[in-house]
């Protein structure tokens, strides 16, 4: 696998992460489904995992960048699994409305698992780690779009979290933004 192909796959992965962040923000802003503290942590894990992909786009593929992606996705999978376990017992209720029969935290777990597997598969091919030019010298449209979209959505997630939680702990079952009370 060439460095260019690896960058293309990383850009597609970053677009996927951006799509997940966009969907969670749409669910929050359009449908008024404010995120719980575990949901906020899962968003942070998506940002951390996406940061590893972004590093691969900017500086070229490196095993350490894939490690950042795997660590972020592993943390997110653990958080999502915790939320699944909290709501798995019948009668305990759930958080948020299901989408295609599954709650967002279940979808998150599956996407985090795919990110771990995908990063591990990418690590199997050493040819991508040959000396690659930084993206600043050969910036292509898809990586640029992926980086821009990811940056904008990361800032939007940060703003949403600050509005929801203020400077303190996030409420267990938020009903409104603390910053606007």
Q: What is the CATH number of the domain that holds 23?
A: 1.20.1550
Q: Where are the alpha helices (DSSP H) in the chain?
A: 3-31, 37-59, 63-86, 104-123, 141-165
Measured distance CA(145)–CA(90) in Å, rounded: 43
- Global pTM reads 0.88
Model pLDDT for residues 30-65, shown as the tens digit of each residue: 988 888 889 999 999 999 999 999 999 888 888 999
Domain range enclosing 83: 3-180
State how many domains the chain has: 1
Q: For residue range 114-148, list pLDDT tens digits in order.
A: 999 999 999 998 877 776 555 544 557 888 899 99
Give SS3 for 168.
coil
Q: Are 21 and 51 within 8 A, CB to CB?
A: no
Q: What whole-number distance in Å separates Cα of residue 39 and Cα of residue 10?
A: 24
């Amino acid at each position: 696998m060439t460095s260019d192909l690896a960058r293309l796959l990383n850009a597609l992965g970053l677009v996927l992460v951006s799509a997940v962040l966009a969907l969670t923000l749409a669910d929050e802003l359009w449908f008024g489904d404010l995120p719980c503290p575990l949901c906020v942590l899962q968003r942070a894990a998506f940002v951390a995992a996406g940061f590893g992909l972004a590093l691969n786009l900017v500086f070229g593929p490196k095993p350490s960048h894939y490690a950042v992606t795997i660590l972020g996705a592993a943390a997110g999978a653990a958080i999502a699994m915790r939320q699944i376990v909290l709501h798995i017992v019948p009668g305990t209720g759930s958080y948020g409305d299901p989408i295609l029969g599954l709650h967002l935290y279940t979808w998150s777990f599956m996407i985090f698992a795919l990110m771990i597997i995908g990063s591990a598969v990418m690590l199997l091919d050493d040819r991508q780690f040959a000396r690659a030019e930084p993206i600043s010298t050969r910036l292509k449209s898809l990586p640029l779009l992926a980086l821009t979209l990811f940056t904008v959505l990361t800032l939007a997630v940060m703003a949403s979290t600050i509005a929801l939680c203020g400077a303190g702990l996030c409420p267990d079952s938020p009903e409104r933004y603390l910053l606007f009370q």
